[in-house]
Amino acid sequence: MNAAWAVAVAALFVWLGMVLAISFLEAPLKFRAPGVTLPLGLGIGRLVFRALNVSEAVLAVVVAVSFIVHPPAVSVAVSAAVAVVVLLAQVLAVRPRLSRRSDAVLAGAGGPRSHAHYAYIALELVKVVALIVAGVLLLGA
């Protein structure tokens, strides 16, 4: 394995670990912690997911630069590209809807959980699979 691919593999698996830890562990657990109110949890969530998305973007750039330096097989590039496209969809399409919903909840609006949460979770699952596939394929290259 060349150095560029080693960097890409590291970035892909760090990205995967961050998504798993934040989206599937921290996010659901924070509302179960004693003393965490809905407004506090929403505020924490906004900060954490903003930081996660910035970190994901940095890692995506690292992967892209690594692939420019030493292009991988098409299957690896496509898998990584799926993760990047999903991230863009989350940041540009879903997060603004989630922000509007959390603004409404903080202003006292009730109602059912936003469908945007389900879309975000579904996209996270797609991203996790894409990151695993890209990393495993690149490890085997």
Distance between CA atoms of residues 6 and 48, nearest Å: 28
Q: Which two tokens stand for residue 3?
A: 């150095």
Q: How far is CA 113 from CA 39, 82, 93, 119, 125, in A?
A: 15, 27, 17, 12, 19
Residue 85 has, within 13 A of its CA and on its CB side, a CA count of 8
pLDDT at 95: 93
pLDDT at 101: 84
User: Is this model's pTM higher than 0.95 or not?
Assistant: no
Domain boundaries, the chain: 3-140
Tokens 């590209």 belong to which residue? Answer: 81
pLDDT at 111: 65
Give the 3-state secondary structure of residue 141: coil
Distance between CA atoms of residues 136 and 112, nearest Å: 39
Residue 133 has, within 13 A of its CA and on its CB side, a CA count of 17
The pLDDT averaged over each successive group of 10 residues in the chain (141 residues) is 94 98 90 86 90 97 97 97 98 93 80 83 97 96 82
121 burial (CB, 10 Å; 0-12 / 13-18 / 19+) is middle
Select from 46, 31, 28, 53 the least CA-distant residue to 103.
46
pLDDT at 100: 87
